[in-house]
Amino acid sequence: MRLGTPLPAALAAAALTVLAGAVPAAAAPGARDAAPPPVSHCAPTAPLTQRGAAPTAGPAAGPAVGLCVTVAGAAMTVSAAADCACTVSGTWTARRGDEDGAASGTLGTRADYPGPGTYEVTAAVRVSGTERTPTTPVTGTVTATFTLAAPKPAPMHRIEVAPPAVLAPGKTTTLTYTVERTGGGDDGDGSARFGLIGEPGTGIALASTDVRCVNPLTGRYPATTRSAHALDCAFTDLQPGRPATVTVHVTLPPDTCSTVVSKLGYWTPKGQQVAGAMLNGPTVPCR
């Protein structure tokens, strides 16, 4: 994320708020049933706490970094920006009271929203592309506290796997996944994309005879290949009370372990207004 030329602290905070989308665009004329707009909270920029050193003395000594949290439905995004013409990247964790690991993710990408509460968000950041410090890129941490009031919506889908299983090297394990549309009544439709992902480079192979599922293509035509460690399934007829089931065969080479995670992407169109979400399903472990 780039902020351009250095800004005073007050202007930097304002710029952060705008970049995070705290000022929603006006609704289109005639829009119906629009989803609630994202809600953003931003903390003022603060001197970066560099590893093994005290916080920098001021703008001349190093960048100041601020954090923003944006909540949109069941997802949240943490972003960071500095008061310099530079790029900020990194990861973050959020802690709510004594609850460790309430949420975590990569700056600028969506993560699951744990619900209302007061969170201490700590980001491990990397600031690059600035000439204001003698050594670049600059790495360090920045922490801010946010009180989030947006309710966490009830999930509209549920993912289950049976039997309870643990993957083992050198074996093939058969798993049956059930995807159910649980909420919303007549809101939305029966379309969803179900994904299973193993760890790349481990040699794990996911396969299914279900015509709705396929190993995704990678590369560029004509030199394309199928990713054996992932499986994509397209559903078009999910209805409350009518779940979909998929049988998957997971094969691991000898002396190699890999977990398998599951994810579901779905959308809920309302006229010409579209809202969507990602749901994390169960993880199948390996030992």
In the chain, domain spans: 9-148, 157-280
What's the gap between Cα 27 and its chain centre?
A: 26
- CATH class of the structural domain 157-280: mainly beta
Parallel/antiparallel/unpaired status of strands 75-82 and 172-181? unpaired
CA–CA dist 232, 180 (Å, integer): 17
The 10s digit of each residue's pLDDT in 142-201 is 999 999 999 988 878 899 999 988 999 999 999 999 999 986 555 668 899 999 999 999
Average pLDDT, the chain: 81
Q: Which pLDDT score is estimated for 107?
A: 96
Q: Which pLDDT score is estimated for 102?
A: 84
Q: Which pLDDT score is estimated for 213?
A: 98
Q: Which pLDDT score is estimated for 26?
A: 40
* Angle at the Cα of 143 from the Cα atoms of 128 and 79, rounded to 5 degrees: 55
> Which strands make up the sheet holding 157-162, listed edge to edge?
157-162, 172-181, 244-251, 205-207
**28 pLDDT more than 60:** no
Q: Which pLDDT score is estimated for 97?
A: 84
| Predicted TM-score (pTM) of this structure | 0.67
Q: Which pLDDT score is estimated for 63?
A: 83
Q: Which two tokens stand for residue 58?
A: 């001021």
Which is nearest to 42 in space by CA: 145, 150, 149, 151? 145
Q: Which pLDDT score is estimated for 174?
A: 97
The answer to whether 13 touches 66, Cβ cutoff 8 Å, is yes
Highest mean pLDDT among 23-27, 102-106, 126-130, 265-269: 102-106
Give a three-class secondary structure readout of 132-168.
CCCCCCEEEEEEEEEEECCCCCCCCEEEEEECCCCEC
Residue 269 vs residue 80, higher pLDDT? 80
The 10s digit of each residue's pLDDT in 59-73 is 445 689 999 999 988
Which DSSP state fits 185? Answer: T
* Angle at the Cα of 7 from the Cα atoms of 5 and 12, rounded to 5 degrees: 120
Which DSSP state fits 23? Answer: S
Residue 227 vs residue 132, higher pLDDT? 227
The answer to whether 168 touches 144, Cβ cutoff 8 Å, is no
Q: Which pLDDT score is estimated for 32?
A: 38
Q: Which pLDDT score is estimated for 5?
A: 35
CA–CA dist 55, 51 (Å, integer): 9
Q: How big, in percent rounded to 5, are the helix, strand and coil portions of the chain?
A: 5, 50, 50
The 10s digit of each residue's pLDDT in 194-248 is 999 999 999 999 999 999 999 999 999 988 999 999 999 999 999 888 999 999 9
Q: Which two tokens stand for residue 52?
A: 């093994």
